[in-house]
Structure 1
């Protein structure tokens, strides 16, 4: 029989968690990665905000026979992206960081591009590209964070699932 260590909590870490109450959810076992995770989350926040702006522009400027249904879908996606941004900002604050909503910095930090297309098919394509970029960036963040911050990883996995759904919906629109 192999000797295994007992499954016991680290009492000293629990005692340290009773200190520095102003740190909120950040405890001694949060590790050295919190700052880097906040930076990743702020870049994801910038991406979500740029996506909100792109989707809203497309919603209001879509024209053509298919445009009412597609424009409605753009607004649904804009609202979903805004919700993602809110969740990311909340997590940044929980980790002791500050969410960066500075308008001048958003595009530079965003993984996705803004788009001013007026052609409906070009709008769908631009949004599909942005969703695919979001899917890839969230997959990479989930991998990078791994077990370093399980709460943030779960949040990113939930957002990733939404982004995959958005990409599928846009792909279907592009084919129709």
Structure 2
């Protein structure tokens, strides 16, 4: 939690924490101040990773199976989103490794850990609707993760905030497609 700084107190770093950071060099950027939160954050990130991977698969399926008069434009948007979701997955996996965890790409557990559903719709409007639902679920899950992490891990919080911004944009784009 953030400490309120008084204008009369001199600013000083926690020397004990600095000394502790100089130990356990095999942990890389993960210092003892991550404490017991690290494992929980890695778990949250692995679930977000599963969500992003399921979204990549859903968007790619929709891209390749979309048909109808409006489908070329919509299919193109699906592929753009698939690529952006893949980039999110890469960033999440990288952060999991930085925290000393193992990114879980296991196909056997992806759909069970994902917050969003896979979709096999064949009608274009149903595809857009399914993607809008998934984006709204992603927005809510990232908002909750950001709240849970708070100030315990500012680097992960910023990463999640960046992804949240993209997911909100995706939801707006799907809404616009649904209305057109």
Normalising by structure 1, we get a TM-score of 0.97
- Which ranges of structure 2 fall in alignment gaps of 5 or more residues? 1-5
Instruction: Give the drift of 1:12.
Output: 1.6
- Which ranges of structure 1 fall in alignment gaps of 5 or more residues? none
Tell me the residue number matched to 1:11. Answer: 15
1:58 pairs with 2:74: no
* Cα distance between partner residues in 2 of 1:157 and 1:22: 28
Q: What number of residue pairs does the alignment pair up?
A: 175
* Cα distance between partner residues in 2 of 1:83 and 1:175: 27
Following superposition, which runs of at least 4 residues in structure 1 exceed 6 angstroms of deviation? none
Tell me the residue number matched to 2:82. Answer: 78
* Cα distance between partner residues in 2 of 1:137 and 1:114: 16
Instruction: Give the drift of 1:32.
Output: 1.5
Tell me the residue number matched to 1:174. Answer: 178
Instruction: Give the drift of 1:4.
Output: 4.5
Instruction: Give the drift of 1:6.
Output: 2.5
Tell me the residue number matched to 1:116. Answer: 120
* Contact 1:31-1:148 within 8 A present in 2 as well: no
Tell me the residue number matched to 2:73. Answer: 69
1:38 pairs with 2:80: no
* Cα distance between partner residues in 2 of 1:6 and 1:101: 48
* Cα distance between partner residues in 2 of 1:36 and 1:5: 34
Instruction: Give the drift of 1:158.
Output: 0.2
Normalising by structure 2, we get a TM-score of 0.95
